[in-house]
Structure 1
C-alpha cells in the first residue's frame, strides 16, 4: 500500500507560536494526499488563506528515515497506515515560528499523534510565497468544493436509499397489520361459532324434554307389563286343581 491508494485527508487545525508572540493566528485548513507521479511520496499543504501558506513533499526515502528516527517498527504498508491514522486523529497541531518579510510566520511544523503515548509524526513545512501560495490556495479551494460535492452526492444517495427502505418497511407493516386483522377476525368468528354450538347442546327445548319424558314413561310401562315366564312363576303349595267338567258329570 502507498499514499496513492489513500483518499485525500482534509482537516482544520489550530496553530500556535513556538515562542511567545502578540501576533494572532487564524485557524488553518490542511490537505494531505499522495502524489500522482510518485504514489509513495506524501504532500502536505496548510494555509490560513491569508499570509500563512505552507507546504511539504516527502519522498519514500525521507519517510523511511522518519520511521527509523521515531522508532516505528513494521513494514512500509504499516507505516503508511500509521501516518494516515495519526493525521486523521484529534491530536494534530501546527507549530509556527519566525517572522517572514512577506508577513506571517516563516516556518511551520505539523505534528500528529495516533494516540497518547505513541510516537509522534513531525513534518517540517516550507512557506509558499506570492503566485505559488495563491495557486496552492486556489487548488485547495477547488478540491474542497469537489469533496463537498462528493459528500453531498453520497448524502443524497443515502437519503434516497433510506426513503426507499422506509417505504418498503411501511408497506410491509401495513400488509402485516391487515393480515393480523384478518386472522383476528377469523379467530373471533370461529370462537363465536364454537360458543353457539356449545350453548345449543347444553340447553334442551321443552319439546325435546317432553319427548324424552314420554319415551322414558313408555319404556317404564313396557317393563311393568311384561309377562313372567311360566317356569319362573311361584308355585302355590297345598292348592287342589278341580276339573269342572268332571264335577258336572257326577250330577
Structure 2
C-alpha cells in the first residue's frame, strides 16, 4: 500500500509550557525514498528535530495500540484527522531530548494516537531542517496557486454575470421604446378615425341644408 493518498500536511506540536521551547512544527507525508512508509518529522527549525518512518506493519501495530477497527486506510484517515485537529502535543517522557512522543487526538473523548520520534543530530539534523523548509515553501506555493486560480475563476464568473445583466437591461429598454412607439401609432390611428367620422357627419348635414334651401325656392 502506498502512502501517496495520505498527502502532505503540516501542523504545530505544542511542547510542555514549562520547557520554554521554540514553537515546534511537524510534517507528515509519504517517505521520499519509499512511498510505502509514512514519515513524521518535528522540528523547531533551529537546532532540534525528531523523526520516525512508519511501515505498514508499524501502522498496523499502532492501530492495535489505539484500539480502532477497520482497514489500514481507515486508520490513516483517522490519523490525518487527529493531526489536523489542532490538538497535537509533544511530550518528553524521560526529561530529555533524545526521544519524544507526538500525541494527537481528533476530539475530546476519542482515542489518542501516540507516536514515538527519535532525535536527529549533526548532518541529518541540518538536512531535515532544510528539507522541512523547502517542503513548507512548496506547500505555500501550491496553496497560493490554488487561491489565485479560484480568484481568477470568481472574477470571470462576475464578468459573465455583469455582461448578462447589461444585455438584459438593454433588451428591456428596447422593448419599452417599442411599446411607446406602438402606443403612439394607435393614438394617431384613433385620432384619425375620430376626425374622419366628424367630417362625414358635417358633409351629411350640409347636404340636408342644401336640399331644404332648394325646396323652399321652388315653392
Match for residue 10 of structure 2?
10
Give yes or no for contact 1:97–1:106 (8 Å, CA) kept in 2. no
187-196 or 71-80, larger mean C-alpha shift: 187-196
C-alpha contact (below 8 Å) 1:111/1:120 kept by paired residues: yes
Radius of gyration: which is bigger?
A: 1
Query: Does the alignment pair 1:162 with 2:154?
Result: yes
**Structure with a larger share of its residues in helix:** 2
Shift of 1:82: 1.4
Deviation of residue 46 (structure 1)? 0.7
CA contact (8 A) 2:87 2:104 kept: yes
RMSD of aligned alpha carbons: 2.6
Matched length:
210
Deviation digits for residues 1-20 of structure 1 (CA, Å, limit 9, x no counterpart): 64222221112232226xxx
The answer to whether the aligner puts 1:143 opposite 2:144 as a matched pair is no
**1:122 aligned partner:** 114
TM-score, normalised to structure 1's length? 0.72
C-alpha separation in 1, matches of 2:188 and 2:88: 80
Structure 1 unmatched runs, 5+:
222-251
CA distance in 2, matches of 1:96, 1:190: 88
Q: Which moved more, 1:73-82 or 1:194-203?
A: 194-203
Aligned with 2:41 (options 45, 67, 72) = 45
Contiguous gaps of at least 5 residues in structure 2: 213-219
Q: Using the alignment, how far apart are the partners of 1:206 and 1:199 within structure 2? A: 11
Change (3 A) 1:77 1:201: same
1:68 is aligned to 2:60: no
TM-score by length of 2: 0.81
Measured in 1, the distance between the counterparts of 2:74 and 2:16 equals: 30
Give the superposition deviation at 1:211.
2.7
